[in-house]
Amino acid sequence: MYISQRTLRRMLKDAGAGRVGEDAAKEFQVYANKTIFEIAQRAVSLSKHAKRKTVNGTDIKLASS
């Protein structure tokens, strides 16, 4: 996993959750990591299509939209 449950638990608390269950943190971790990895793959594909080796912010914005 790329992002720890601890980090995501803190994110949920910052969003207003008083308490975060173990199952909620685990599910959030699975979903967040899957989504972020898919965006990363699309961003890399976009940079390769543009014949660049460097992924830039524009690639991330386009990949996440």
CATH code (residue 21): 1.10.20.10
Burial 28-39 (b: 16+ CB within 10 A, else e): bbeebeeeeeeb
Query: 47 with 55: CB under 8 angstroms?
Result: yes
Indicate the SS3 state at residue 42.
helix
The pTM score is: 0.85
Domain count, the chain: 1
Q: What is the pLDDT of residue 1?
A: 77
- Work out the average pLDDT over 16-37: 96
pLDDT at 63 over 80: yes
- The pLDDT > 70 percentage for the chain reads 100
- Domain containing 57 equals 5-64
Q: What is the mean pLDDT of residues 10-33?
A: 97
| Nearest C-alpha neighbor of 10 from the set 2, 1, 19 | 19
Rounded-to-10 torsion of CA 41, 43, 45, 65 = 100
